[in-house]
Amino acid sequence: RFRDHGGPVVPIELPGKVNAWMVTSYDSVSEVLLNDGTLFSKSPLNFPALHDGTIPPDWPIRQLIQGDHLLTKDGADHRRLRGLINRAFTPARVASMEPRIQELTDGLLDRLAGEGEPVDLVRHFSEPLPIAVICELFGVPEEERYQIREWTNTMLFHTATPEEAAAAGGQMLAYLGAFVERKRAEPGDDLTSGLIQAQEDDGDRLSDNEMLWILWLVLIAGHETTVHLIANTVVALCADPAQIPAADDRDAWAAVVEEALRSRNSVLNVLFRYPLQDVQICGTKIRAGEPISVALHGAGTDPARYGAGAERFDASREPDAHVGFGRGPHFCLGAPLARLEMRIALSSLFGRYPGLRPAIDADAITYTPSLITEGPMELPVVL
Ligand code: HEM
């Protein structure tokens, strides 16, 4: 609605009556995302209202946009950090997870049938799978995983109070501090241990603070997004079962995943870019320091790019660049893992239960109370 009625650049207001903007079309979103940080910065240092007292100190989003991690850095600082993480988070490491992701998926699918029907697919499948995958990758013990899920929800949902959101973020960082110390004392075959090990290397290395914030970001971004995208895709496929591919048709499942990222993305908006000078986007003037929120969902369903019916889920569409994982320097670090996980989860789910359908009407589904991520809170299904 913002895009269709407001246009490609829409004014929004933040607490303290701070002027801000949302870019909503494929072109305006791409223009902002593709910049290398020289015109649109990700650093909160370039958002004056955050520091001069205009925005209240208890604004919950403050925590999300002020952490010391990849999503708050530009240019050489950002490239340095990404390079250090990539030394441990290699494509080979991700590819080697395939058998284990399949095993985790199969285990959850085995248990689904025992839950009695209708069974909540979010609680018993789309939520536990991504949590298990990212936590195993980083060595978080099983009994500590669900807490990460709860802290994440509290930080992202606008139903939490500012105090609750701030407390959740603080508790998660404190937990991670103790977790890293444990890993230092007893390393394992996981990425946290790999990153700690790399701190011993000669040359540039991660500081202890950078290590904490990397874990914070990756544990949140690495599950929240995938939880919701699995469920959103199940809803889309069940609305048009003719689009459900054969379980072993890898290419068709890969196409389903790309179409979901385009048209049913779990990431509605990515947070702010701050113009370093006054700029014009699609004819609208934006002043330096006024934050811009980037509406990926608006871009993904823009009829100017995808034609009439852009909102329709259609996995047979000609493949086209989408912005589901962002674009430019901050393009999703976890995209290969997310694609692998999505394909295994969906093909295995429908392979095992080809007749699976939601037990409630699509318009009865309750979605996450968030402007950042979107997916069903619960999805009762009959198998
Ligand atoms: C960045 C989407 C899965 C880690 C991003 C961005 C998007 C995105 C849109 C860009 C943010 C921006 O430009 O401000 C998604 C979606 C996923 C997914 C839709 C799943 C379906 C994952 C996974 C990981 C991950 C599994 C785990 C490692 C990250 C990180 C960044 C990021 C660390 C920051 C990259 C940077 O700033 O350089 N993701 N993501 N994501 N994602 Fe993902």
> For 34-67, how does the pLDDT look when each residue is reduced to its tens digit (9 = 90+)?
999 999 999 999 999 999 999 998 888 887 899 9
Cβ neighbours around 188 below 10 Å, total: 12
Backbone angles phi, psi at 188, to 5 degrees: -130, -170
What average pLDDT does this structure show over 223-227? 96
Say what the pLDDT of residue 310 is.
96
Task: Pick the range with the lowest mean pLDDT from 203-212, 216-225, 370-379.
Answer: 203-212
Measured distance CA(63)–CA(60) in Å, rounded: 6
Decide which of 1.20.1250.20, 2.70.150.10, 1.10.630.10, 1.10.1040.10 is the CATH code for 2-382.
1.10.630.10
Closest ligand 1 atom, CA of 214? 33
Cβ atoms of residues 312 and 72 within 8 Å: no
Cβ atoms of residues 38 and 78 within 8 Å: no
Measured distance CA(154)–CA(158) in Å, rounded: 8
Cβ atoms of residues 175 and 183 within 8 Å: no
Measured distance CA(126)–CA(260) in Å, rounded: 15
Closest ligand 1 atom, CA of 70? 37
Residue nearest to atom 25 of ligand 1 (CA): 334
37 lines ligand 1 (CB under 6 A): no
pLDDT band at residue 217, thresholds of 50, 70 and 90? very high
Q: Model confidence over 280-304: pLDDT tens digits?
A: 999 999 999 999 999 999 999 999 9
Backbone angles phi, psi at 240, to 5 degrees: -150, 75
Q: Model confidence over 89-127: pLDDT tens digits?
A: 899 999 999 999 999 999 999 999 888 899 999 999 999
User: Does an H or E element contain 382, and which?
Assistant: strand 380-382
135 lines ligand 1 (CB under 6 A): no
Say what the pLDDT of residue 60 is.
81
Cβ neighbours around 340 below 10 Å, total: 20
214 lines ligand 1 (CB under 6 A): no
DSSP track, 238-272: HHSGGGPPPTT-HHHHHHHHHHHHHHS-SB-EEEE
Burial bucket for residue 147 (CB in 10 Å: 0-12, 13-18, 19+): middle
Verdict on whether the full-model pTM lies above 0.80? yes
Say what the pLDDT of residue 189 is.
92
332 lines ligand 1 (CB under 6 A): yes
pLDDT band at residue 198, thresholds of 50, 70 and 90? confident
375 lines ligand 1 (CB under 6 A): no
Six token digits for residue 206: 């991660």
DSSP state of 245: P
Say what the pLDDT of residue 116 is.
87
pLDDT band at residue 88, thresholds of 50, 70 and 90? confident
pLDDT at 320 over 90: no
What is the average pLDDT score of the chain? 95
Measured distance CA(233)–CA(222) in Å, rounded: 18
Q: Model confidence over 250-260: pLDDT tens digits?
A: 999 999 999 99
Measured distance CA(173)–CA(89) in Å, rounded: 21
Say what the pLDDT of residue 30 is.
97
Q: Which residue out of 332, 341, 344, 374 has the highest number of ligand 1 atoms within 8 Å of its CB and is therefore the one to mutate?
A: 332
